[in-house]
Each structure stands twice: as structure tokens, then as C-alpha cells.
Amino acid sequence: MAEQLSVFIQNKPGKIASVTGMLAQAGIDLRALSIADTTDFGVLRMLVSDIGKAKTVLTNQNCVVSATDVTVVAVPDAPGGLATLLTLLDTAQVDIEYMYSLIGCVADKAYMVFRVSDEKALHKVLNENGLATVSSAELGLR
């Protein structure tokens, strides 16, 4: 399990650069990043090296932030690796609220970040199929 930071931003040029710039100035490293948008607003979802510090920095700059638990899964880094996991989750009727990939990979694994409707069912599928979660410590997150 990892804690994800969500930042609500206006859908205007420079807003993502502003948020990532604030984090960079505070010495906070990005591990994963996703943006979902509507016409007027977006949600910037991130795994960062120090979520507590990031929340403080962004809140002090009047950003709207929230933290959410997500699961990072080590998926086989081969054709069909992700498709196999997604099929298993579909069979177990685990609804994926959203997912995105993590920057970088290790050896023969790619990392995917998941927010699902049923965390216990996700872990059951992973355990039954020899797939592992990745801890916050392994990702260098505090």
C-alpha cells in the first residue's frame, strides 16, 4: 500500500509546471504522475518521496490536496503481463477506479498503481496468481 497525493488544479497552461516546481524546490521527488482532466479542472495524482512534506508545501500555497491509499503492483514486464492481471481482476469482479504506471521499472517487472473498489479482492487475486505488491519503502516513499 502507498499513499497517493491528489492535487486539484485549474485546466490552464503552466498549472502542472507550477505544482511540480513547488515540489522540486522543496526537494521532493516524483515517483509516479497521472493527470485526469475536465474542461475546467484537473486532478494531478502523484506518488512522491515525502507525502507529508508535499502536502504541507502545496497547502501553504493554497492548493487543494488530498491523500488516498493506492496499491502498487509488480506486473510482469512482458507482452500480455498487464492484460493477464486485468483479466484476472475482471474475473474476480474487481472494479478499477483508475490506474497508471510508475516511472521506471526493475528487472523484469513494471509497476502499476491501482485504485480499486475492493482492496481485499485485489490482494486475493494477486496472492492466488503469484503477483506481488510493492511497498512504500521499496519505492523510496515516506
Tens-place pLDDT, residues 4-20: 999 999 988 899 999 99
Cell numbers at 121, concatenated: 479482492
CB atoms within 10 A of CB 18: 13
Provide the pLDDT for residue 103: 62
Provide the pLDDT for residue 57: 97
User: What is the residue-averaged pLDDT of the chain?
Assistant: 91
For residue 104, pLDDT beyond 90 = no
Cell numbers at 42, concatenated: 484537473
Distance between CA atoms of residues 47 and 99, nearest Å: 12
Read off the pLDDT of residues 26-36 as tens digits, 9 standing for 90 and up: 999 998 999 98
Q: Residue 29: CA atoms inside 13 Å, Cβ hemisphere, count?
A: 8
**Between 45 and 105, whose confidence is greater?**
45
- Domains present along the chain, CATH in parentheses: 2-69 (3.30.2130.10), 70-136 (3.30.70.260)
State the chain's maximal CA–CA distance in angstroms: 45
